[in-house]
Structure 1
Amino acid sequence: MVYAAPTELADIKVSNLYQDYNYVMEDGTWRHMEFTSEDIDEKDLKRFRAYEALASYQYNVDIMTYVVCSAKVKNPKSRIQAGFNTYQVIPICLGDRDAEVLLKTLMTKRSRREPLTREDFIQLALCPIMGGSISQYKRIKAALKIIQDSTALSYEEKETLVSVLYVLADKFLNSKEMEIIKGVMKMTKLGQMIFEDGVSQGHTEGYYATITGILRKKMQEGVSPDAVAKYLNLDKEYTQRLCSLLQDLPAQDDLEIARTFVKEMEHRQQV
C-alpha cells in the first residue's frame, strides 16, 4: 500500500446517463445495445461498464452489452481488466460482409419465389453497417423495396425493420446522406405512412420509440428541440412534448415514452 485513497465521493456530478437501447429478454435479463462508428477504446468500455452497473443496481437485472459497429471499425476492443474482474462486451461487426452480395442473393431468392427467412430480414435491416462498395443510398433503397414487397411480414414487422434501417442510418450517416435516405423512405408506401402527418400515417408506438431514441441522442449533443423537429420533419409541438417526457420520465425507455406520447395524442383526439 502506498497511501490511503479517498472514501467520500461528495463532489461527484449528478448526470443523466443515456444508453442507446435496452431490451428485456424472455428470461428477464436485459440486452444493452450501443452503436459506434469509431474503434472501441478503454474509455468506451469503462463507460459501458458504468451503464451496466448503474442500470443493474437500479433495476435489479443482469445486463449484457452488445456494440453494433460500422464497417469502418476493424479491430474493436471488447474487454478490460477491472481489478479482480474482467469486463467485456460483445461487438457486432459486419464489415467483412458485402451488402451488395447480400442484396443480390435475396433478390435472386425472390425471383425464384423462395421464401425469405427471419435471418434474411435481420441481415437486411443491418445492411447499413456491412462492408462493400455499394452506396448507402442504393443499399437502403433496395432493402426498403424488399421489405415493402414482402407478403410474409406483417405491417408491424415491416415497420420495425424500417425503423431499424432509419436508426442505423441516423447513427452512421452524415446530414446530407440522411436527407437522401429520408427521401428514399418517403418514396415507398410504407415510408410515407411512417413519415407523413396524421394518426393513421405514423402515430404508432414503434415509430415514436425510434424518434425518441434519436431525440435522446440529439439532446445529449445539445441540439435544441426545434432543430430536431426540423431535422426529422416533425411538428415542433410533438418534438417539444417528447423532450418534456424524456426529462420528466428519465427512468423510462424509448418504447415506454412512446406509449405515453401516443396515449396522450389519442386522448386529445377524443376530447
Structure 2
Amino acid sequence: MKGTNITHNRQDIIFKKMSVLFKNETLKYYELNLPKIISVKPTELPVINVSDRNMDFVFELEDNSLLHLEFQTTWKKADLLRFAQYDIALFQKERRKINTVVIYSGKYESAESELDMGLNKYKVLQVFMIKYDGIKRYKEIKRKIEKEEALTDKDLMDLVFLPLMRNEKSEEEVTKEALELAITIPDEDKKEAVIGSLLGFSDNYVREEYINKLKEVIRMTKIGASLFEEGVEKGKREGEKEFAIRILSKRFGNQLTEEIKDKIRKADEKTIDYIGDNLLEITIEDLKELLK
C-alpha cells in the first residue's frame, strides 16, 4: 500500500472494515487452497534499501502461516524480485511460512510466476481477474440493491474487486462507480465494510492523482454525514451549508452557479437536511427545482 496516501489512523479503520469481509471469504473467492484467514496484519517492514513501498496486504492464516497479497495492474519481472525481498524481510520478522499471491487486473491473462536464482527459486501463486466479467456483475449487484434483495458475501467481494475485473472503463472510473453503488447498500455494516475495502485496495491500483478524488467522495458520504451530525449538535448550520456547497461544487463544477450557491445559503433547515442526505444522488436539475 502506498504509505503516503493513507494515514496510520485511517489505515487502522480500513483494516477493521476489511476484516469483516476478508476473514472468511478471500481465499474461497480466489479459489485458493489455503487455511482460513483469521486477521489482517500491518504491512510495515524493517526493509533497508529495498523499496519506498510497503507490501500491499498481509493476512494471518489459521495454521499460523501468513498470506502476502499483492495487486498488480502492470507486470515487470523486477516485481518478482521486489516481492521476494518483501517476503525475506517478513520471514526475518515473523519466522513463519509465507504464501504469496499476486492478483492481476483484467488487463492480463498470464505473467511469469517464478524467479530462478539457481539453487534458490522464488515462486508466487497467481490470480487473473480477466476471468471475471465486471460489467455483468455490476448490473447484477445494482439490480439486487434496487430490488432490496439481500447481498451475498460473494456480491460484496465482487463489488470490492469490480475495478480489477474485465471492464470497458478504467480502474479509476469503475472504482468511482463501485463506490457510488456501495453507498446505496442498506445494511450499514456491509456498506462500511465495502467502502473501507474499496478505499484500502484502490490505493494500490488507482493513480495517485486520482486517489484523493475517491477519498473526497468517501468523505462526502460516511465521514461527511458525521460532519453534518456534528454540525447540528454544535448549531453550525451555516457551516453545513458551506460544506454542502463545497461538495456540490466538486460534483457539478461551473454548473453550480453563484446564484445557486446563494440560494443554498438562504435555504431553510428542511431543504438543507434534504440536500445533505442526498449529496451524491441529487442532480443539478433536482437542485434547481428544490431551490425555486
Taking structure 1 as the reference length, the TM-score comes to 0.56
Alpha-carbon contact 1:100-1:134 (below 8 Å) kept: no
Give the equivalent residue in structure 1 for 2:74. 38
Q: After superposition, give the CA deviation of every residue in 1:115-143 in whole Å (9 maximum; x if it has no partner).
A: 21111111110112122114545533442
Aligned counterparts of 1:65 and 1:193: Cα–Cα separation in 2 = 38
Aligned counterparts of 1:112 and 1:136: Cα–Cα separation in 2 = 27
Give the equivalent residue in structure 2 for 1:177. 210
Aligned counterparts of 2:130 and 2:202: Cα–Cα separation in 1 = 15
Match of 2:163, as an amino acid? P
Aligned counterparts of 1:194 and 1:170: Cα–Cα separation in 2 = 23
**Deviation at 1:191?**
5.0
The alignment yields a C-alpha RMSD, in angstroms, of 3.1
Give the secondary structure class of the aligned counterpart of 2:130. Answer: coil
Residues 193 and 112 of structure 1: CA distance in aligned 2, closer, same or farther (over 3 Å): closer
- Provide structure 1 residue ranges, at least 5 long, that are not aligned to the other structure: 1-12, 199-271
Residues 30 and 193 of structure 1: CA distance in aligned 2, closer, same or farther (over 3 Å): farther
How many residues align? The count is: 181
- Provide structure 2 residue ranges, at least 5 long, that are not aligned to the other structure: 1-46, 231-292
Identity of aligned residues (%): 24
Residues 142 and 194 of structure 1: CA distance in aligned 2, closer, same or farther (over 3 Å): farther
Residues 176 and 60 of structure 1: CA distance in aligned 2, closer, same or farther (over 3 Å): closer
Give the secondary structure class of the aligned counterpart of 2:200. Answer: helix
Give the equivalent residue in structure 1 for 2:151. 116
Higher relative contact order (CA 8 A, sep 6+): 2
Query: Which of these two proteins has the greater Rg computed from alpha carbons?
Result: 2
**Deviation at 1:107?**
1.6
Give the equivalent residue in structure 1 for 2:49. 15
1:79 and 2:114 are equivalent in the alignment: yes
Match of 1:49, as an amino acid? A
Q: After superposition, give the CA deviation of every residue in 1:97-123 in whole Å (9 maximum; x if it has no partner).
A: 332211101122234443211111111
Residues 135 and 87 of structure 1: CA distance in aligned 2, closer, same or farther (over 3 Å): closer
Give the equivalent residue in structure 2 for 1:166. 199
Q: After superposition, give the CA deviation of every residue in 1:7-45 in whole Å (9 maximum; x if it has no partner).
A: xxxxxx94366322212122221111223221141x322
Give the equivalent residue in structure 1 for 2:130. 95
Give the secondary structure class of the aligned counterpart of 1:150. Answer: coil
Alpha-carbon contact 2:73-2:107 (below 8 Å) kept: yes
**Deviation at 1:72?**
2.9
1:57 and 2:92 are equivalent in the alignment: yes
Aligned counterparts of 1:172 and 1:25: Cα–Cα separation in 2 = 25
Aligned counterparts of 1:134 and 1:50: Cα–Cα separation in 2 = 33
Give the secondary structure class of the aligned counterpart of 1:144. Answer: helix
Residues 87 and 124 of structure 1: CA distance in aligned 2, closer, same or farther (over 3 Å): same
Aligned counterparts of 2:111 and 2:226: Cα–Cα separation in 1 = 34
Aligned counterparts of 2:149 and 2:141: Cα–Cα separation in 1 = 9
Taking structure 2 as the reference length, the TM-score comes to 0.52
Give the secondary structure class of the aligned counterpart of 2:204. Answer: helix
Alpha-carbon contact 1:144-1:162 (below 8 Å) kept: yes
Q: After superposition, give the CA deviation of every residue in 1:205-227 in whole Å (9 maximum; x if it has no partner).
A: xxxxxxxxxxxxxxxxxxxxxxx
Match of 1:15, as an amino acid? N
Give the equivalent residue in structure 1 for 2:175. 140
Match of 1:126, as an amino acid? F
Give the secondary structure class of the aligned counterpart of 1:64. Answer: strand
Q: After superposition, give the CA deviation of every residue in 1:181-235 in whole Å (9 maximum; x if it has no partner).
A: 23433343x2526899x8xxxxxxxxxxxxxxxxxxxxxxxxxxxxxxxxxxxxx
Following superposition of structure 1 onto structure 2, how do residues 249-268 of structure 1 map, counting pairs within 5 Å?
none
Give the equivalent residue in structure 2 for 1:125. 160
